[in-house]
């Protein structure tokens, strides 16, 4: 009996190990395929990857930039993860981040003269509310009318994008009226820097804390259990008395709120004003981080740091060996494709392993 119990633990560990090994294998295989592209343009892959990886650690500023880049990716990745665990695909992290940024700028412009604690807190709350509303609408349409959250959230990305373009061009354009951007928010609304002489601000710490909170909510509370139950088996959850519609709406609102915080960290921590189409594609990078991290908060943080390292290192690689920075985008895309392919093959591999174990027994 003890032996069987030991075997059960061993089997469980093997299957859990597969979830970790597949993303790691995807990263190495993507780098291998990327080296083929580098050879086609007569660049030594080892030299290019040396700049890509170790170029991030040549000085304090470059190292800090890894975490600066990863901060909004963590938050949009958590947004996708929260919805994904409820069986939803929130592709609108970009738009929800923009909504949070618009609210953060508005609050920062109006309350920047107040104490730092008060104006930063109000900016954060405003971003959370705006992001939640931007996620609530697709959630309501999905829950009540059965609309596709994928299509609606994608469309809402464009609504937020063009709304920002309108705001910075007309009503919120800077007072001197020269560039399509807002005035700087009050200095008291700036997020404090963690490392002097770098752009690394306290937003990264906020992102890590939020990832811990998301994990606790989803895996350690009855509320999170209900959401995950809806995502795992909607019919079974509804049969047990859970409200599918309510779970969908709440999950999308929380997901939007998480992405809204990303807008807050970008505005109050980096740009300090609203710009047209700032932080392009961060929402989609968050989806990549969530998929690479197996939709687990800890995995999202690690994957986001990896993507931040690739994005920062691409500049060093471009300067060092003259490789276009877009090569990194291709490698990143290959990582996602390979992870998805691995996740599709994993159930078949697990089934094969179980059958083989039964034959041995």
- Least Cα distance to 333 among 345, 344, 341 occurs for 341
CA distance 195 to 200: 6
Phi then psi for residue 193, to 5 deg, are -85, 140
Query: Helix, strand, coil % (nearest 5) of the chain?
Result: 80, 0, 20
Per-residue confidence (pLDDT) for residue 294, from 0 to 100: 86
Structure-derived torsion over alpha carbons of residues 183, 188, 194, 198, reported in degrees to the nearest 10: 30
Per-residue confidence (pLDDT) for residue 292, from 0 to 100: 87
CA 139 to chain centre: 19
Q: And the tokens for 185?
A: 């928010």
Per-residue confidence (pLDDT) for residue 15, from 0 to 100: 64
**Candidates 1.10.275, 1.10.10, 1.10.3470, 3.10.620; CATH matching 57-322:** 1.10.3470
Per-residue confidence (pLDDT) for residue 1, from 0 to 100: 40
Per-residue confidence (pLDDT) for residue 4, from 0 to 100: 47
Concatenate the DSSP letters of all residues of 117-169 into one string.
HHHHHHHHHHHHHHHHHHHHHHHHHHHHH---HHHHHHHHHHHHHHHHHHHHH
Q: And the tokens for 265?
A: 């960290």
Contact (CB, 8 A) for 88 and 252: yes
Per-residue confidence (pLDDT) for residue 314, from 0 to 100: 87
CA distance 194 to 335: 31
| Count of other CB atoms within 10 angstroms of residue 302 | 17
Per-residue confidence (pLDDT) for residue 361, from 0 to 100: 60
Residue 98, C-beta contacts closer than 8 angstroms, at least 6 positions apart: 157, 160, 161, 163, 164, 263
| Count of other CB atoms within 10 angstroms of residue 202 | 16
Contact (CB, 8 A) for 320 and 333: no
Per-residue confidence (pLDDT) for residue 359, from 0 to 100: 67
Which residues on adjacent β-strands are paired with residue 201?
193
CA distance 157 to 105: 18
User: What is the full per-residue pLDDT of the chain (361 aa) written as tens digits?
Assistant: 444 444 444 444 666 677 777 788 888 898 899 999 899 888 899 999 998 888 888 889 999 999 999 999 999 999 999 999 999 999 999 999 999 999 999 999 999 999 999 999 999 999 999 999 999 999 999 999 999 999 999 999 999 999 999 999 989 999 988 889 999 999 999 999 999 999 999 999 999 999 999 999 999 999 999 999 999 999 899 888 899 999 999 999 999 999 999 999 999 999 999 998 788 789 999 999 998 888 999 999 999 999 999 889 888 888 888 888 788 888 888 888 888 788 778 777 777 777 776 666 6
- Domain boundaries, given as residue ranges, for the chain: 1-43+323-361, 57-322
pTM of the model: 0.91
Per-residue confidence (pLDDT) for residue 107, from 0 to 100: 97
């Amino acid at each position: 009996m003890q032996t069987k119990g030991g075997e059960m633990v061993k089997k469980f560990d093997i299957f859990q190990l597969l979830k970790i090994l597949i993303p790691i294998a995807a990263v190495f295989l993507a780098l291998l395929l990327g080296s083929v592209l580098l050879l086609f343009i007569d660049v030594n892959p080892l030299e290019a990857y040396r700049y890509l990886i170790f170029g991030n650690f040549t000085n304090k500023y470059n190292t800090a930039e890894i975490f600066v880049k990863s901060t909004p990716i963590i938050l949009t990745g958590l947004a996708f993860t929260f919805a994904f665990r409820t069986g939803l695909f929130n592709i609108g992290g970009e738009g929800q981040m923009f909504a949070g940024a618009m609210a953060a700028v508005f609050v920062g412009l109006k309350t920047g003269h107040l104490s730092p604690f008060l104006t930063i807190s109000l900016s954060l709350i405003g971003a959370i509310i705006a992001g939640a509303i931007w996620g609530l609408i697709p959630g309501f349409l999905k829950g009540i009318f059965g609309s596709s959250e994928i299509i609606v959230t994608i469309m809402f990305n464009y609504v937020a994008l063009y709304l920002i373009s309108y705001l910075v061009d007309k009503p919120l354009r800077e007072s001197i009226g020269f560039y399509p951007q807002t005035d700087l928010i009050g200095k008291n609304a700036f997020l404090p820097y963690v490392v002097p002489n770098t752009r690394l601000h306290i937003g990264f710490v906020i992102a890590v804390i939020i990832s811990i909170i998301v994990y606790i909510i989803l895996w350690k509370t009855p509320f999170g259990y209900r959401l995950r139950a809806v995502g795992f088996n909607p019919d079974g959850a509804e049969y047990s008395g859970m409200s599918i519609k309510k779970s969908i709406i709440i999950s999308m609102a929380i997901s939007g709120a998480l992405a809204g915080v990303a807008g807050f960290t970008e505005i109050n921590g980096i740009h300090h004003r609203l710009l047209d189409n700032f932080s392009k594609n961060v929402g989609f990078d968050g989806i990549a981080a969530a998929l690479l991290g197996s939709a687990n908060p800890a995995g999202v943080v690690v994957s986001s740091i990896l993507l931040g390292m690739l994005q920062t290192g691409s500049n060093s690689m471009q300067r060092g060996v003259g490789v276009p920075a877009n090569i990194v985008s291709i490698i990143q895309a290959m990582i996602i494709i390979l992870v998805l392919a691995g996740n599709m093959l994993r159930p078949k591999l697990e089934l094969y392993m179980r059958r083989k174990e039964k034959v041995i027994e």
